[in-house]
A and B are shown apart, each in its own frame.
Chain A
Amino acid sequence: MKDFSLFTSKTICLPQKDIDTDLIIPAEFLKTTTKEGLGKHVFCNLRKTDSNFPKFNGPRILVTGKNFGCGSSREHAPWALKDANIDVIIASEFADIFKGNAEKNGILPIILTEKTVQKFLTSGEDLSIDLKNKTVKDSENTFYSFEITDFAQKRLLENLSDMDFLMKFSTEIRRFDTKQKR
């Protein structure tokens, strides 16, 4: 698990909006029964048709157009991005299922205004992420605050799973299950 508290990284910029999970990882790669090794196929169809498509060879931050991760619920999409070294994705809006899946795999989705995202997409500058203080810093030392619930922040900083929380309620859950109709 990489440290989320503070880091600076180059960015990968994909300005297109509405990037769907079929584009992130096409269905042909869903025949796997493990989570590993999907990084080399990330965006493979876009890569095929665009020789200038950015390489996922180190940068930890992806900046992209709004509604990123729409479509299929495949968790293979965040698995592929994580395997391709991505820890943070910045956009003005994320699709619900993708956002939840990303957070559960140690990826931090950061929502900033469309204007700020467009600035980062245009400049391609390095960015610094500070999850403890909930800020993004650009190359001119301007800070941009982002929102994240205390719960989600703690989960990422301490590498917790929802299971750590759910397990505490096993007695209540068992009682509920017994009285609940099937």
Chain B
Amino acid sequence: MNKNIIDKIWEAHQIHCEKGAPDVFFIDLQFLHEVTSPQAFEVLRQNNWKLFNHKRNFATIDHSIPTDKSRSAWEDTAAKFQVETLKKNCKEFEVTLFDCGSGNQGIVHVIGPELGLTQPGKTIVCGDSHTSTHGAFGALAFGIGTTQISHVMATQTLLLEKPKTMQVMFKGTPSKYFTPKDAILALINQIGIQGGTGYAIEFCGEYIQNLSMDGRMTICNMSIECGAKFGLISPDETTFQYLEGRQFVLDDFEIAKTHWKQWKSDEKAYYDTVVEVNIDGTAPFVTWGTNPEQSVQIHENIPSPEDFKDPAKQLACKKALEYTQLKSGNPIEGTPIDYVFIGSCTNSRMEDFKAVAQIIKGKKIHPNITAYFVPGSETIRAQCVNEGFDKIFKEAGADFRYSGCSMCLAMNGDHVPEGKRCASTSNRNFVGRQGTGSFTHLMSPEMAAICAISGKITDPKKYFNTPQNQ
């Protein structure tokens, strides 16, 4: 039988299989951060277990770190203690920590690829559901809980059942302002937030092959938003070029490349399920509800519960609209916005900020808008400064901050106040996600940048058709 990349990576990491038990599965690389690791380190200490291989574990600080300039001037003693605990644990167990100010700190799913730690064919875990981001490189990467983190620390393995496999094929040529963020929102809208539960997804098709690594990471990042723990893309020349010369690509590049090339799906490989997403002529997406499936194309109207066949979806629509205070039948376009957040492990990379800078250059942020632009890593911030984007953002009136998860999950103090509405490039629009009583509209960085100028949800096509914005 012709194999897909998921089967190949899986088989290459099975250490032991027996009937009636999950596989003993080897993990090449574990990323750690301050929020989900302290209890795992504590388990090691309590049981007197050693860290199996400290060279397969890397840590950074991202979730609870302030994103203002001072960084350490914290009033939140709990968050401060959590960060100090990570530093202490990394020292004790000899784990490399990419600390603030090291030049390499950032959101864990941004720095892994940036440093060249993320490579094709690797199995990668982290105590964070967006770990599938690393799948963009043809790695089998997935989020785990803290108990499993301790198992990987102590044994470099996990007990795992193999997931089913799903091929997602994007077909057609989308409209001009359609971005990778819109492609993944289109899939989630089609199959629902539980449509990928139990599956590992391989994203395929010409649309995917033509994307940069930054775009591919945005797509793999949100696999979990349709329930899939794993989402990946077979590596190709784009992948190899990205990795060339990166710090942790230790082998001779040509040797490494030969090794990486084995990780791709065979022609006519078998998948348990195949899903086609028709993106031909499709416009950018924006969410209207309280989960990432509840979205429409920018020119469409906010749905009403009757538009759904499934009674459960009708109820979900009703409840979501009650929360987001939007009216069925109204266009989503024109909805006034209070906050704009450009950042998160979904959209905080150089390509995102290039697109944003191009739109913002010479413009002013709308007076009603508070704009947070939060780069994914210290490296990206430095690159932005190098390109002069910091000046462009400052002159426009946006707050260009320091790297971290920030307003995506609002646990570091950066949050959207109660009753305020945010245009956000992050991955979740759950009730209260960006702050108690706040409303989130997920969208691409391009659309969010346009919202920052117009003060309302705006169709990029109409915006760019206005002479002064061309």
Contacts and interface: CB of A to CB of B under 8 A. Distances in A.
Interface stretch (A1-9, A27-35, A125-133): A27-35
A169 B315 CA distance: 49
Given A30-B63, A73-B143, A169-B16, A163 B428 contact: no
Interface residues of A, number: 52
Nearest to A48: B436
Contact of B148 (A71, A104, A150, A182): A104
Contacts of B81: 31, 33
Contacts of A72: 128-129, 409, 428
A72 B225 CA distance: 9
A28 to B, nearest CB: 6
A31 B26 contact: no
B56 A163 contact: no
B145 A101 contact: yes
Interface stretch (B93-101, B191-199, B362-370): B191-199
Interface string A114-127: 00000000000000
A172 interface: yes
B326 interface: no
Contact of B431 (A23, A34, A74, A150): A23
A22 B312 contact: no
Interface range for B: 35 or more
Contact of B129 (A71, A166, A176): A71
A31 B432 CA distance: 17
Chain B CB count within 10 A is highest, among A27, A95, A177, for A27
Nearest to A70: B193
B156 to A, nearest CB: 6
Interface stretch (B34-42, B333-341, B342-350): B34-42
Contacts of A18: 193-194, 291, 316
B144 interface: yes
B108 interface: no
A180 interface: yes
B146 A71 contact: no
Nearest to A155: B159
A113 to B, nearest CB: 14
Contacts of A45: 431-432, 436
B269 to A, nearest CB: 23
A45 B56 CA distance: 38
A60 interface: no
A22 B159 contact: no
A14 interface: no
Interface string B216-257: 000000001001010000000000000000000011000000
A20 interface: yes
A17 B312 contact: yes
B73 interface: no
A105 B147 CA distance: 8
Given A26-B432, A72-B129, A163 B16 contact: no
B15 A20 contact: no
Contacts of B433: 22, 27
18 contacts: A18-B194, A22-B409, A22-B432, A27-B433, A30-B35, A30-B411, A32-B78, A70-B194, A78-B145, A149-B20, A162-B147, A162-B158, A163-B151, A166-B159, A169-B155, A172-B15, A173-B24, A181-B28
